[in-house]
Amino acid sequence: MKLSVLHRTTFHYGAPVTESVNTLHLQPRDFAYQKTLSSFIRVIPATRLRCFDDLYQNITHHFQLSLSHSKLEIESRIKVLNQPLDISDESRSAGLTEYLDPEIREIVWPYLQESRRVSRSPLVWRTALDVTGDFASVYEKSNAIMGWIHREFVYEPGATSVKAHLEESFSVKRGVCQDFTHVMLGMCRVIGVSARYASGYIYNGPLDSLVGAQASHAWCEVYLPGAGWIGFDPTNNTLADERYVKVAVGRDYEDVSPVEGSYLGVAHCELSVQVEVAKI
């Protein structure tokens, strides 16, 4: 499946600002099941973008606008070719003991640790044990956690802030894809399942059946021995298949936010975000 994505972020400031410094995660590298066909980023006012790979091999852009400006627009256009998921029966039945392999251990270790937004909460640990106790494989445990979050949590924009921690999201059991993903990361990690945060987009198609297609989306990826990183979306209770466009991965939202920055000037700023995903 070929997909195109338009992502436009616009900042309208209450008065002219200066010294705008921003970091972008808007250009995807090639992943398993996903090949990037083209990618273009435009910034107005025009400025030079510096490109580098971050600690998690995400393609990252950085820019600075020193001169006065009242509006900042960042536009990303990408095209990708996605392949259907292919998870073997052997990978679906692999257990946590497979993580003891030295090569696999090196891959999964960073995503078994605590991070800024995801802690090892005793309450989350007890819940994760209850939810996964009847299952043996990494795939089954991950699927059970995904289904539990989808059933028990309510999708409600505004219920939490963009800076919400796992424990806040777990307590209120409401939020958006970012919250659902942080909860799944925490539940997976406390029982020894390596899980990372994935940021990108989803193609809803004519049936309009997926939640979160109106903006950038987030889901959890679990390392399945023999298959690699496979996406589990607790917001929609489905695997991240060819409808998903992955842009960046990391320990939590802090590592992958599409646009993050600061500026010198008035506090008042109006933000608008436009996302369009189409099949081509």
- Strands 2-27 and 217-224, by their bridges, are unpaired
The pLDDT of residue 83 is: 96
Q: Look up residue 147 and give its amino acid.
A: G
Domains of the chain: 2-82+257-279 (2.60.40.2250), 89-254 (3.10.620.30)
- The string over 192-204, giving b where at least 16 C-beta atoms fall within 10 Å of a residue's C-beta and e elsewhere, is ebbbbbbbbbbbe
The pLDDT of residue 268 is: 87
Q: What is the pLDDT of residues 150-184, one digit of tens each?
A: 999 999 988 888 888 999 999 999 999 999 999 99
- Find the angle CA(141)-CA(143)-CA(145) to the nearest 5 degrees: 70
- Find the angle CA(120)-CA(133)-CA(174) to the nearest 5 degrees: 50
Torsion-angle region of 192 (φ positive above 0: left; ψ -120 to 50: alpha; else: beta): left
The pLDDT of residue 130 is: 97
> Model confidence at 214, in pLDDT bands (50, 70, 90)?
confident
* Residue 208 in this model has a pLDDT that exceeds 80: no
The pLDDT of residue 155 is: 94
Measured distance CA(23)–CA(57) in Å, rounded: 15
> Model confidence at 207, in pLDDT bands (50, 70, 90)?
low
Q: What is the pLDDT of residues 92-147, one digit of tens each?
A: 999 999 999 999 999 999 999 999 999 999 999 999 999 999 999 999 999 999 99
The pLDDT of residue 198 is: 98
Q: What is the pLDDT of residues 20-47, one digit of tens each?
A: 999 999 999 999 999 999 999 999 999 9
The pLDDT of residue 266 is: 85
Measured distance CA(22)–CA(27) in Å, rounded: 15
Average pLDDT over all residues of the chain? 94
